[in-house]
Each structure stands twice: as structure tokens, then as C-alpha cells.
Structure 1
Amino acid sequence: MVIDSTVKKHRPYLAIFDLDDTLIAADSASLWTAFLVEQGIALPALQAEEEEMMLAYAKGDMDMHSYMRATLAPLIGKDRTAIEELVNEFIEQKIKPALYQDGLARIEWHKKRGDSVIIASATSEHLVKPIANMLGADDAIAIELETLNNIYTGNTKGVLSYQQGKVTRMKTWLASNDAQYKGCYGYSDSINDLPLLNAVDKPFAVNPDPTLAMHAQMKDWTIMEWRHDNNILR
């Protein structure tokens, strides 16, 4: 069947945003671990362990399964509803002050155009989904967590949305979505998202780490420098 070119012309774009160090001037998972320590739910040793593992993440060689096992341990046996309430407090205290104003403006730019906005993150869904909702995104892709009778088990499920896994999860999302898109924008700061940025039509390196910056320069991608304003949404 031949598609009317005028119909295709008026299709929206899909905008995929990484979350950590892209839309916020921090890593939400690291902030959450520190928050759990502050609340007396996790031990300070976990924060030190998490910081060590994040050094591997910055190099693009983190074992995400090991990271998730360690950082989900404080949630084992916890009720999902109780954690949701704690996450709401966390977002108010830690996430909103860390938002990039330029990131919020870019989301608004896409929404005014009629584009669909997706947050795709290698952080757990219990953090990413409420943050995405707060940002006005249409949907979110994140690492899925296993629960049993509404109680967290400490296990993940499905494909982890990390590195190539993020592309796999996006393809699954697109296959289950009835919408048709004219093209796809992608925004990230991290070399871990090189597979995603290679897969989209319009890649943007936002405050890129040195390795991603090198790739962006070699491929003539747009590099965006976003500034932090800690008064956003207060």
C-alpha cells in the first residue's frame, strides 16, 4: 500500500531522552542510594560500594546485573506502596533541584511540536517512571523490578535497559505501539548510550562524557551543553 506523502509529513517525531546526567545534573540511582542511607534504610557501606561501581559505569564496562543486585538489596521485603511514597519524597528533595532547565525546555519544545517524549534509562522503574511522569513524558523505559504480592524481591526481570539492551527495549516498545513516527531524536550524555544514539535518526550528545564527545565529533553529531539551575520546579 502506498502511504500518502502528506500523511507521513504530518506524523510526529519520537524523542528519546536518557535521564541521568542528561535531564538531571546527577545520577538518580546514586542519589537514591544516598537518600536511603540518610533515611537509615541502607548502610553507608552500600553508598561506598555504589560509588565504586559507578566508576566502571563511566568507562562503559559496568556489570549491571551485579549493580542491581547490590543496590536493590535495601528494597527486599519492602511494600511497593510504601516505597512509592518514599520515592515521591525523594523526587521533591533530590530530583527537582537537580533538573537541567535546558532539558525541560527541550522536552517542552518537542511537546509543542506534537512529538512523543520517552524517558529511557538504565535506572530502576520505581524511580524512572514517577520522574518521567513529573517531567510530562508520554512513557518511560527502565529496568523492571520483580514483586511478589506487591513486595519487592530484589530481583530484576526482562531485558535490562542498559547499553544495547536499551535499544532492544525501545524496539519492543515501538512494536507494541500503534503510533507511526516520522523519525527519532535521541539525547544522552553517556558512552553507554552509543548503541541508542547510533540507532536514531537525529542523535544529540548532551554534556557528553569524554568518550562520547569524541564519537560525537567524529560523526558530526550535535553537541549540546545544558546548564543547571537549582531553582527549577521548586
Structure 2
Amino acid sequence: MRLALFDLDETLIAGDSASLWLEHMVAQELAPATMVAEEQAMMSLYHQGKMDMHQYMAFTLQPLAGKSRTWLDQQCQHFAEGVLRDRLYPEGLARIEWHRQRGDVLVLISASGEHLVAPMARMLGMDHCVAILLDEEQGMLTGQTRGTLSFREGKVARINQLFAGHPGVWQESHGYSDSHNDLPLLRAVAHPHAVNPAPGLRQVAEELHWPILHWQLAV
């Protein structure tokens, strides 16, 4: 088994899906505009490697508490098709297809919520989707998360959970990410790639002679 693990935000798409989704919710009057500035402050901590992901998810999921999962899935499908699709990097799509032709197992793995990541995984024809799981009771969202968060070391843990019983799952695996928060994942794979890397990841990639890829949106 050969895994091809792709991060979503700032790796396959230009932008962060969670931030864009919050802006979308504000525009649709589903969330107060005051949330944007606080979310941006949290994202600044993310880029510094200091974010508390539990706190971030609890904050950004507040507007969804009490909503039905069916409603959310419909909203996010439209959001993915109408907003995120146009932000996909053509080079990223080509790399996915290269792995597909090789017969690799394609995994979209993200520290964003599953409501945002799953529609993109379907759109991209991924074999698996690994994202932060949303808690629900009788089909209604609680505004909380459940399980291991797919963030930092949590991404490695979730892959080990998903492919438990497959020895050597990391052998010949490829990984793609822009963020130093994904260093645990990139160190775990056999073939790490830094895509449009943030400064912290670029420094490590240069030191360890990892390939650095520069993907751009089509003009």
C-alpha cells in the first residue's frame, strides 16, 4: 500500500477553508461579523504554531450548534462547489492524478472540520477523508468535536487508526503540506513535500533537502 497524503488549506487550495467558511456564514447572516476579527487572531497563533485547536474549533462551531447535520452538509456542498473549487491549484490536481495513475491510496487530511473537508474529498475523488469530527446528537450538531483532532501529531495518530492492521503503511508514502504544524506528518512519510511552504516549514525543508513545490492558481 502506498499512501498519498494531501493537506487541504494553503496546499491544494489558495486560502484556508475554515476562515473562508466563517466569512461565508457572516455574509449569509449565519454568524455575527464580530467573529471574524477573533478568528483571524486565532489564525495568527496557528501560523506561529501556538494555536489551541480545541479552543478554535469550539469558537468557530458556535454558530452551528443546534443545526441539523443534513442542513450543514447541504450548505457545505454548495460552499465547496461555489467557493473552494475555484481556489484549487492546477498543479495540485495534476499531482493527485499522478498518484491516482500509480495506484496510490489518496487521502485528504486536514485540521479543518469534516463538514468542509469531506465535500472537497468527494470532489477530488479521494479514497479517504481525515478531518476533525463534529459531535452530534440525534442528527443535531452540539457545537463540539469528538475523537482525536487531526492536528499536528493528531494527523499521524488518525492515519495509524485508519490503517490499523496494515503494517508498513508509512513505507513509500508521500506527504504534501504548506505548514510547519504538519511537520509530524511530513517526518512520518517516506517522501515529504513542502508546498508553498510557510517560513518555518521552508527552513526545515531546506535543511533536510525536501522538495519544495510552488503551486499557483491558473491565470
TM-score higher than 0.5:
yes
Residue 180 of structure 1 deviates from its aligned partner by: 6.3
Structure 2 residue 116 is matched with structure 1 residue 110: no
Structure 2 residue 163 is matched with structure 1 residue 174: yes
Correspondence for 1:149: 138
SS of the aligned residue for 1:145 comes to strand
Q: Aligned pair in 2 of structure 1 residues 58, 119: CA closer, same or farther (>3 Å)?
A: same
Length, aligned pairs only: 219
Correspondence for 1:92: 81
TM-score normalised over the length of structure 2:
0.96
Residue 47 of structure 1 deviates from its aligned partner by: 1.3
Residue 181 of structure 1 deviates from its aligned partner by: 7.3
Correspondence for 1:16: 5
Question: Structure 2: any 5+ residue segments left out of the alignment?
Answer: none
Structure 2 residue 23 is matched with structure 1 residue 34: yes
| 1:56 corresponds to which of 40, 45, 53 | 45
Q: Aligned pair in 2 of structure 1 residues 112, 192: CA closer, same or farther (>3 Å)?
A: same
Residue 229 of structure 1 deviates from its aligned partner by: 2.0
TM-score normalised over the length of structure 1:
0.90
SS of the aligned residue for 2:8 comes to coil
| 2:62 corresponds to which of 59, 70, 73 | 73
Correspondence for 1:209: 198
Tell me how far apart the structure 2 counterparts of residues 95 and 207 of structure 1 sit (CA, whole Å): 18
Q: Aligned pair in 2 of structure 1 residues 166, 182: CA closer, same or farther (>3 Å)?
A: closer
Native 8 Å contact 2:170 2:190 kept in 1: no
Structure 1 moving runs of 4+ over 3 Å? 176-182
Tell me how far apart the structure 1 counterparts of residues 19 and 83 of structure 2 sit (CA, whole Å): 11
Tell me how far apart the structure 1 counterparts of residues 63 and 218 of structure 2 sit (CA, whole Å): 31
Tell me how far apart the structure 2 counterparts of residues 42 and 29 of structure 1 sit (CA, whole Å): 13
Q: Deviations over 1:60-90 (max 9, x none)?
A: 1101011001000010000111111111111
Larger radius of gyration: 1
Percent identical among aligned pairs is 48
Correspondence for 1:9: none
Q: Cα RMSD between the aligned structures?
A: 1.5
Native 8 Å contact 1:98 1:229 kept in 2: no
Native 8 Å contact 2:61 2:143 kept in 1: yes
TM alignment of 1:129-168, pairs within 5 A: 129-168=118-157
Q: Aligned pair in 2 of structure 1 residues 208, 181: CA closer, same or farther (>3 Å)?
A: closer
Question: Structure 1: any 5+ residue segments left out of the alignment?
Answer: 1-11
